């Protein structure tokens, strides 16, 4: 297969969200709400356990019935995404109830995200080779400001975001839209992601698929570089 286009997932593939503790600390600082350090650490651990941070750890326990159904379709609209994550966060008491929405807003800030160490190198190399690059993500908000803030936007030719289309991976329709946006046939496209179920759905369309490990950025310094070998 001659690769003419590469689709990348966003969270856990090209970018990594900040730690839950950093996320909570930033929201508290912005809201000027004090929280003693031991309580802050305990609260961050509780938020992580319930899966409140988008792009972070998944819930480690069954969700309440009222949230479980919403969780399954959370990436189909901006409203559903916010409702799912703020609903999960509200399982953890915070010193000011407004902080639940403030936490959600914080996770959309470019400062909350770090590109993987080799992301710029790999995207730039693909562009130099004339390979079309797109981002296809299950998400509830516009991630393009994150790419602009970190200098990666010039390398990306198309963004196909689930909330814009009401479709979420692994539905092949989202991958088909991404291939169409790049002007590349599925059989000439490689999908790169960290979720074997969601990103693996591209295989049903005829795309090649390559998986990376969802790890903190310092622990995965060169996980994207094999893509360059696959493209050839």
pLDDT at 132: 98
pLDDT bucket at 113, cuts 50 / 70 / 90: very high
Full-model pTM: 0.96
- pLDDT at res. 66: 87
Express each pLDDT in 40-99 by its tens digit.
Answer: 999 999 999 999 999 999 999 899 998 999 999 999 999 999 999 999 999 999 999 999
What is the average pLDDT value for the chain, to the nearest integer? 97
| Fold annotation for 5-16+113-231 | Rossmann fold (3.40.50)
What does 64-116 look like in DSSP terms, one character per residue?
PHHHHHHHHTGGG-HHHHHHHHHHHHTTS--SSTTHHHHHHHHHTSGGGEEE-
Chain segment 140-176, per-residue pLDDT in tens? 999 999 999 999 999 999 999 999 999 999 999 999 9
Give domain limits for the chain.
Answer: 5-16+113-231, 17-111
pLDDT at 28 over 80: yes
């Amino acid at each position: 297969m001659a690769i003419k286009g590469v689709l990348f997932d966003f969270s856990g593939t090209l970018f990594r969200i900040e730690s839950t503790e950093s996320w909570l600390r930033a929201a508290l600082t912005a809201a000027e709400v004090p929280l003693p350090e031991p309580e802050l650490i305990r609260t961050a651990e509780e938020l992580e356990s319930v899966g409140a941070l988008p792009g972070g750890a998944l819930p480690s326990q069954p969700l309440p019935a009222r949230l479980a159904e919403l969780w399954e379709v959370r990436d189909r609209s901006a409203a559903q995404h916010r409702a799912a994550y703020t609903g999960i966060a509200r399982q953890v008491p915070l010193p000011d109830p407004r902080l639940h929405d403030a936490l959600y807003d914080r996770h959309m800030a470019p400062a909350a995200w770090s590109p993987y160490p080799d992301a710029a190198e790999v995207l730039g190399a693909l562009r130099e080779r004339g390979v079309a690059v797109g981002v296809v993500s299950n998400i509830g908000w516009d991630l393009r400001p994150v790419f602009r803030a970190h200098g990666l936007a010039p390398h990306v030719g198309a963004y196909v975001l689930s909330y814009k289309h009401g479709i979420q991976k692994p539905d092949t329709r989202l991958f088909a839209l991404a291939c169409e946006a790049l002007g590349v046939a599925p059989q000439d496209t490689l999908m790169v992601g960290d979720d074997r179920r969601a990103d693996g759905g591209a295989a049903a369309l005829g795309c090649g698929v390559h998986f990376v490990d969802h790890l903190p950025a310092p622990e995965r310094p060169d996980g994207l570089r094999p893509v360059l070998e696959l493209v050839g």
